[in-house]
Amino acid sequence: MKVTEHIKKAAGKTLFSFEIIPPVKGRSIQELYDNIDPLMEFKPPFIDVTTSREEYVYIDRNGLLDKKLTRMRPGTVGICASIQHKYGVDTVPHVLCGGFTKEETEYVLVDCQYLGIQNVMALRGDARKEEQYFNPTKGGHAYASELVKQIYALNQGNYLHDKVETVHSADFCIGVAGYPEKHLEAPSLITDLKRLQEKVEAGADYVVTQMFFDNQKFFEFVEAAKKMGINVPIIPGIKPIAVKRHLQLLPQVFKIDLPQDLIDAVEGCSTNADVRQVGIEWAIQQSKELKAAGVPVLHYYSMGKSDNIEAIAKELF
C-alpha cells in the first residue's frame, strides 16, 4: 500500500514509522531484524531504508595505494524486499541522485516494481566525504526535482529511451525531503520552500522533514508551505539525541539549532546513558505535542538502534 493510502486509511490517527540503515558489508541482516522486532508492536505501516553514497577507499597493492570507489552499505532494495516478506510491512527505499546515473536509477525502480515495492523516497543525497559540495554524477541528476520527474514519468510508462504501452506500468508513491530550518545550501527558507514546491509540482506525493528539536519551527514550516500551495502530507522526522557529542555534530552536519533547554539538560549529564535518557524524554514531549496537532505520521530516525525509539513509542502508540 502507498504511504498516502496508509495516511488516508488512518482517518486522522497519527501513525508510527521509522528509518533504518543497511548493515556494513559482511554483517548479517539479522542485526536489522533484532532492531526492528521490538518496534513491530507499534504497528508501523511502512519502514524507510536508506541508501548510502559511494566513497573512496585506498587499497594497498605492494606498497602502492590504489584508489577505488565502493559502497560500504549496499543492499537497500534487497533489504526492503526482505522486510516486506518477513514482516508484511511496506518499505520505502531511498533513491539518490548522487552516485547513480539515470539508467541505474531506472534499473533500481524496475527492480522495486517487480518486488512489489510501491513507495520510494527521492533524494538528491549528500556530497561525498572528500567533497565540500555536491557534484552530480556524470549521466545522473543534479536535483531531487529531476529525479522526481523521472519517477513520475516511469509511472506514466515513459522510460528513458522508450515509451511502453502496458497496463502494468509502475505506480510509485513518491516521497521527498523538507527542511523546517532550510537546507544547508539554501540561501533562505523561502528559496528552500520554492525548491520543495518544485518537487511537489514534479510529482511528489508527500514530504518527510529533516530532524528538528523545536516544534514551533515545524509548525511555521508547514504553515509557510501551505501558503505556497504545498498541500501534500508533511511528516515530521524525529531524531532523539543519544550522545553528548550530538550537541556539536548535529548543528555542524545538518545546520540546525538546538533549544537551550535541551542543551542545558545534555550538558548537565555525566554519562552518555544519561544523555540518551534526556533525548528520549525530549522526543516524547516533542511527539506528544506533534500528535496533538494532528500530524499524519511520526517518523523516527533510528540510526540502527531501536531501544530509544521503543521507549518513545511506548509513550505514544
How many other C-beta atoms can be found within 10 angstroms of the C-beta atom of residue 288? 15
- Distance between first and last Cα of the chain: 21
Phi/psi at 300 (5° precision): -110, 135
HSE, side-chain direction, 13 A CA sphere, residue 131: 15
How many other C-beta atoms can be found within 10 angstroms of the C-beta atom of residue 275? 23
Angstrom distance (rounded) from CA 17 to CA 125: 21
Question: To which H or E segment does residue 50 belong?
Answer: none
Question: To which H or E segment does residue 20 belong?
Answer: strand 15-20
Q: Which of 284, 153, 155, 159 is nearest to 213 (CA)?
A: 284
With beta carbons less than 8 A apart as the criterion, state whether 111 and 79 touch: no
Residue 223 is a catalytic residue:
no
With beta carbons less than 8 A apart as the criterion, state whether 295 and 25 touch: no
Angstrom distance (rounded) from CA 136 to CA 12: 39
Of 19, 106, 146, 310, the active-site residue reads: 19
Residues with a catalytic annotation lie at 19
